[in-house]
Structures are given as C-alpha cells and as structure tokens.
Amino acid sequence: MAEMKRTHSGTEDVPSSPKQAKEGVADKRHIAALILARGGSKGIPLKNIKMLAGVPLIGWVLRAAVDSAVFDSVWVSTDHDEIEKVAKAWGAKVHRRSPEVSRDSSSSLEAIQEFVKLNPEVDVICNIQATSPCLHPFHVKEAVEMITLKGFDSVFSVARRHHFRWQEVKKGSGKMTKALNLDPAHRPRRQDWDGELCENGSFYFATRDIIENKRALQGGKVAYYEMLPEYSVDIDVDIDWPVAEQRVLRYGYFGRDKPEVVQIFLCNVSGCLTDGQIFMSLSGEEMVSVNTRDITGIRMLKKEGVEVVLLTTSEDSTTKTLFDKLALKIGCQVKQTRLELVGEVKKILKERGLDWRQVAYMGNDEPDVECLNLAGLSAVPRDAPVVAVNAAKYTCRNTGGKGAVREFTEHILLLKKKAMSQMEQDRIKRTSDF
C-alpha cells in the first residue's frame, strides 16, 4: 500500500510560521489539524481533558500541532463545554459537533465528514488523535511535506512491531489457534525480521476529495509515516494511564522553549506554599502552616543554581513577616507586591536582565493568570480555580500547602535534566559528523 516511509531521529526543527514551512512551494491549499474529542468517553470519563503529567491530555497534541506552524488552522471537534474551554486555552478553534455524530456508535470518519462539509475552505485534513500524547511538531511537519512536496493524497502514522500473531480458531470447546505471520518451525530472530507496520493512530492526513468522495481516510496515492516506538503511545483504558505518564515525561514534547533556560522561580506564597488559611490563637497571634516537602523542593532548586523569589501581596502582611524569617533559613528573597502582579514581576526580571522564557512561575488564582501565561514554565496547585488552571502549563496533583511546590520543582528539574541530556546527544552527534 505505502509508497514511501520516513523515520525521524527525534531532533526538533520547528518552522516559525506556516509560510516558512511551505516556502518555495506552489501548494497553497488550506491544511487544517482536527482533533476529535467527544465528551462521552466510556473507558475513562472526560479522558480528553484528564491531566496527564500536569497537562490536559488533549493539550499535548494541541501544543505539538500549534508549535509545528504548518497548519493554517487547528481545530477541536467536541460536544462538551469543558473540552471546548480547554481547547481554546491551548490555542485551538472549536467545532461544535452535532448530536448525530456524537453518539457512541458514531465513527471518527462521520465526525470528520461533518467538519469538512461545514468548512469549505479546508483542502487537507490532519486528524490527530487526542490520546497520542508523545506527538512532536517534527512528526506532522514531515508528514505535511509528504503531502505538499511529494504529492501524496493521504498519509498515516505507523509504528514497527515485532510481534508474532496468532488467530483463534473456534472449533468445538477446545482453544485452537493458527499462526498468522510466522512459521512456528522456523521462528526468525528479531534481528533477521523487519517486523510489521501497524497503524498507531497518531494522525491521518487526507485530502478533501478522499474524505468526501471515497468516504475514507486512506486512498488515492497513499503513504505511511513511520514513528519510532517511543513516540507511539495510545491511551484507551485506565491501565494505560500510568505507563503513558512515564513515557510522556521522557519522550513528550514540552514546547519550544528549552527548560534549562529557567533562571528564576517565582512563587505566590498564598495558596501555593500555604493552603490559603490563616490560624489565630486565643491571644490573637496569626499563624500559617508550611509543608516541609515544599521547603525541600525550594532547596533543590537553589542547589541547581535557580534563584527563588517568594511573592506576597500588600494584604498579606502577616504572611510577609513569617516568610521573611523562613527565607533567611533557605536562602531566598520575599518580595511584597501589589495586586497587579505582572508589573511587579516585570520589574524583578528587568533588574536581573532576564526575560519571561527564563521564568518558572507558580500561582493559584485570577491575579496570577497573566504571569502564568507569559512564563516559560508555569504551574498551579490542583485546587486552583479554572481560570488559573487554563493559563498554566502544568497542573499539580497536590493542592496548595500540601506538596504542590515540591511537585513543580521536581518537574522543573526533570525538564532540565531531559534538556541537558538532549544537548549532550546533539553534541555527540555534531562531534561524530566531523
């Protein structure tokens, strides 16, 4: 079936715009990414927006699609209000699918056909599966080039498998089988067998003509795009979730900015380092509680050379006094700010000659939203309101004052380690090229 294949080593090369991606190419067709995200998942309720490694599941593929910069538009097709909110927060347009294609029995093709019918400007569709969180921009960029430069009508992603398959033969009450892809008397060694190409469901490119007239996602001049096994992750049932979380932390796409550029960690104390409560003694003394795990997390950042600044507002005079004392012990600064946080943070960055890409910011409510959006890395505790969750790049499992800061600091350090490892691999590759 396939007429060509591609396997990529994993180096990101993201164009800055769709125009750059198609530069010098006469192909002017409108290429749209479409993620199907129905609200009625039976296996895992609202699976598409459930948090995976601190990010809504659908956020992983939306970030890759948007950052690839090869799509003229990025869409989410959904029937659910909460999924719509998350999709817009991650930069997608929303197509509200009709009840007719939102049933349990509805096929993906039916939902795509409806979208194509209602969006006549779209010439090529890339159906990206929301449950494939290890998708990277380079995957779709290279697949787009197979459409625009090589002239294929449809391209779909596959992974190479080395599985011996057997078919169940139901005869009588006994369990009988027959081999499908091997001779049991001459079992090949893995290194002597190319394996088989299996659809991994990450994406399907198809022209409007294929979808409308052939009523399929594969047809015309067909090609497959081979993804390395580590990127071929699919989530279907609950048991897949912890495995996928570990894979995405190692092989997922975390955005254009390299995490090792983080130079400063800014944390809004109230609701992040504390649970937002103030305790009062009979004598009128005010007290707050701090989790020792969070303090350890701050010390871990300090050890890695990351400056830590704790933020309190002018309304938190008690908190400011208490954290001034704590800051002396752990070697960080406490900055009292006004409610207009972004202006205060800009002053801090200007004083240090830093920009937002070098910031890891943790907040927990509406005043933090602009900082959460601007920071290279940002997080909120699990109990933060929706307005803050939608602005953050990471949502903690833990609540404020209960280990959320420690969790985010570990995430920062994990990304730094991942980036340093990639830099070392790139260095070795560059050295070996000479």
Summarize the confidence of residues 359-365 as an average pLDDT. Answer: 94
> Which contiguous run of DSSP H or E holds residue 311?
strand 307-313
Bridge partners, residue 36, by sequence: 77
Confidence at 154, pLDDT banded by 50, 70, 90: very high
Q: What is the mean pLDDT of the chain?
A: 85
Top-confidence residue, 99 or 7: 99
State the average pLDDT over residues 143-150.
95
Pairing of strands 166-171, 73-78: unpaired
Span of 74-78, 82-86, 142-146, 325-329 with lowest mean pLDDT: 325-329
Residue 23 has pLDDT above 90, yes or no: no
Half-sphere exposure of 393 (CA within 13 A, CB side): 25
CA distance 392 to 257: 15
- Which range (79-88, 138-147, 412-421) has the least confidence? 412-421
Position 400 scores a pLDDT of: 93
The model's confidence at residue 317, banded by pLDDT at 50, 70 and 90, is low
Dihedral sign, CA of 49, 54, 60, 63? positive
Rounded to 5°, angle at Cα 145 from 144 and 148: 90
Task: Read off the pLDDT of each residue in 375-397 and give the average, rounded to a whole number.
Answer: 90
Q: What is the pTM of this model?
A: 0.71
pLDDT, average across residues 127-144: 96
Is residue 187 among the annotated active site residues? yes
pLDDT of res. 280: 73
Q: What domains can be seen in the chain, in order of their start residue?
A: 18-180+192-251 (3.90.550.10), 259-420 (3.40.50.1000)
Q: Is the pLDDT of residue 5 over 50?
A: no
The rounded percent of the chain whose pLDDT value lies above 70 is 84
Whether residue 117 has pLDDT greater than 80: yes
Band of residue 236 on the pLDDT scale cut at 50, 70, 90: confident
Q: How far is CA 382 from CA 54, 312, 402, in A?
A: 9, 20, 10
Residue 106 in this model has a pLDDT that exceeds 90: no
CA-angle at 356, arms to 350 and 357, nearest 5°: 130
> According to the model, what pLDDT value does residue 251 have?
87
- Candidates 165, 187, 250, 397; catalytic one: 187
pLDDT (0 to 100) of residue 21: 45
Which helix or strand (DSSP H or E) is residue 301 part of? helix 292-303
Q: Is the pLDDT of residue 22 over 50?
A: no
